[in-house]
């Protein structure tokens, strides 16, 4: 792909660029993604702790609908 090709892609309307970005992302296999998208150890530990807490205390969790209702009660 040449720089001219890239410029033409960047000149596409935003909807088309978004669609292209989605198609490219979907074309990456999860195994390939894992090689490039790495969480720092502190972030992985935080997520693991939150998951363990959610599994241990399921009654403490809220659904997205409940959270939205609290944040935007008039919606």
Question: Residue 75 above 80 pLDDT?
Answer: no
Residue span of the structural domain in which 72 resides = 39-75
Q: Is the pTM of this model over 0.85?
A: no
Q: Tell whether 34 and 8 lie within a shared domain.
A: yes
Task: Mark whether 33 and 49 lie in a shared domain.
Answer: no
Neighbours of 23 (CB within 10 A): 9
Higher pLDDT, 33 or 41: 41
Give the SS3 label for residue 7.
helix
Higher pLDDT: 32 or 59? It is: 59
Number of domains making up the chain = 2
Q: Based on the domain organization, do 49 and 66 belong to the same domain?
A: yes
The answer on 34 and 1 residing in a single domain is: yes
- Domain match, 4 and 31 both: yes
Do residues 64 and 32 share a domain?
Answer: no
pLDDT digits (tens, 9 = 90+) for 60-70: 989 999 999 99
Domain co-membership, 5 together with 33: yes
Query: Side-chain half-sphere of 51: how many Cα atoms within 13 Å?
Result: 6
pLDDT score of 32: 77
Sign for the pseudo-dihedral over CA of 65, 68, 54, 33: positive
Give the C-alpha separation, 63 to 68, whole Å: 9
Pair 20, 9: CB distance under 8 Å: yes
């Amino acid at each position: 792909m040449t720089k001219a090709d890239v410029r033409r892609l960047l000149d596409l309307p935003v909807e088309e660029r978004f669609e292209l970005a989605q198609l490219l992302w979907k074309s990456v296999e999860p195994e390939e993604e894992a090689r490039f998208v790495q969480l720092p150890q502190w972030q992985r530990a935080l997520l693991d702790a939150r998951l363990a807490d959610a599994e241990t205390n399921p009654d403490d969790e809220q659904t997205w609908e409940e959270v939205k209702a609290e944040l935007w009660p008039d919606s």
